[in-house]
Structure 1
Amino acid sequence: MSGVNKNIVILISGGGSNMAAIVQASRARQWPARFGAKVAAVFSNKATAQGLVWAAGEGIPTGVVDHRQFAQREAFDAALMAQIDVHSPALVVLAGFMRILTPGFVQHYQNRLINIHPSLLPAFTGLNTHQRAIDMGCRFAGATVHRVTSELDHGAILDQAVVPVLPGDTAEALAGRVLTQEHIIYPRAVERLLAAMP
């Protein structure tokens, strides 16, 4: 493998636990040596995102594009794309990035943009997935890694994990168990995509 040439850019809005899981997997599973891949940068729309502190501590370049500084979504997305494209990403990974992206952004990164959603898609797109699963009497919940398309939470499914809904479950308890599985399937899905790249 001649050098590291497959850059991964991760977008976060908060603690970045899925981002950290991917960074840790990239090292433990030797993505630079095996695939020529590395996490090249982490960006957030919030300067207060704790995940930025963690990433910086790991020596990963970080940046902030504050959505509140832009009157239109398109202007925010254009500014974010300019930052991302500095790294010529092979993959752009949404890891708790709490912004709905414009069709132009999605098109720009077509087939390179992936997300993780805390439900078994196509069930429970959008927000409050865990409470909705409990309210509907679901026996199982889970998480889905999927390609991002212009339709929210509707891209091709890359990986899923199933978690039982337990009697007396709260949304918080269920979310915690689902998150544990997210930390397994998201790095796994990224690795499969890297392995399939020329």
Structure 2
Amino acid sequence: MELLTLGVLASGRGSNLQYIIDACERGAINAAVKVVISDKENAYALERAKKHGIANYFVDLKSFPDKESYEQRIVKLLKDHKVQLVCLAGYMRLVGPTMLNQFPMRIMNIHPALLPSFAGLHAQRQALEYGVKISGCTVHFVDEGMDTGPIILQAQVPVLDDDTEETLSKRILEQEHIIYPKAVGLFAQGRLRVEGRRVVVK
């Protein structure tokens, strides 16, 4: 079976990127990361890409007149590398129609909460402030909303009485590292089908 070509957008450390790269390299998923793009010049995700010989680019939003032209540049880079699935790994920008129209239901994101609860920024802090007993993480397809796309996989994490934002985030991240490569692997196998709001795993 032909390898699924991946493009990853990241704004920070890129720990989920690393786990996806590792899963690809050991053959756990039938895919290969071909390009990593960041909107932050000093994002460690770019260093991770370099270490694995993966094409990497810093694309500065400030260098473009508007978001549409910024996303056109990203789309061109993705297309140049024949990317079939785009993975957002700590990419801190809302994806606009320019990208969505080019990759419909072919952009994935990981969010550190059990969506639809606690969308947006600081999800772990939101969970603690609300007093929930269970939190977790969600892999979902990206649509025009903020963390509103169809849900692919979720993993739950208990919230402990003495949890801080840091301790809860760390335990959730461990689960992110498991379910994100798994979701990519299911896509690579052609086992995901979107039916309205639902993602059916074949």
Q: Same fold (TM over 0.5)?
A: yes
Matched, 1:125 2:123: no
How big is each residue's C-alpha offset from its partner over 1:82-123, in whole Å with a ceiling of 9 and x where there is no partner?
111101211000000111111222121102111001110010
- Correspondences of 1:146-161 after superposition (within 5 Å): 146-161=140-155
How big is each residue's C-alpha offset from its partner over 1:27-72, in whole Å with a ceiling of 9 and x where there is no partner?
22354xxx4x311111111110011111111111111111122231
Task: Look up the match of 2:8.
Answer: 10
Q: Which moved more, 1:80-89 or 1:120-129?
A: 80-89
Task: Look up the match of 2:68.
Answer: 74
Q: Which moved more, 1:78-87 or 1:113-122?
A: 78-87
Matched, 1:172 2:166: yes
Q: Which amino acid aligns with 1:157?
A: I
1:5 CA drift (Å): 4.9
Matched, 1:29 2:9: no
Q: Which amino acid aligns with 1:87?
A: H
Matched, 1:44 2:38: yes
Identity %: 39
With over 3 angstroms needed to count, the CA separation of the structure-2 counterparts of 1:168 and 1:58, relative to structure 1, is same
Q: Which moved more, 1:71-80 or 1:118-127?
A: 71-80
SS of the aligned residue for 2:77 comes to: helix
Q: Which moved more, 1:143-152 or 1:188-197?
A: 188-197
Q: Which amino acid aligns with 1:56?
A: K
SS of the aligned residue for 2:189 comes to: helix
- Correspondences of 1:179-194 after superposition (within 5 Å): 179-194=173-188
Q: Which amino acid aligns with 1:25?
A: A
Task: Find the aligned partners of 1:17 and 1:84 in 2 and give their Cα distance.
Answer: 21
For residue 50 of structure 2, the aligned residue among 34, 50, 56 is 56
Task: Look up the match of 1:162.
Answer: 156
Task: Find the aligned partners of 1:39 and 1:68 in 2 and give their Cα distance.
Answer: 26
Report the count of equivalent residues. 191
1:163 CA drift (Å): 0.5
1:6 CA drift (Å): 2.4
With over 3 angstroms needed to count, the CA separation of the structure-2 counterparts of 1:139 and 1:57, relative to structure 1, is same
Q: Unaligned stretches of 5+ in structure 2? A: 192-202
What value does the CA root-mean-square deviation take over the aligned residues? 1.3
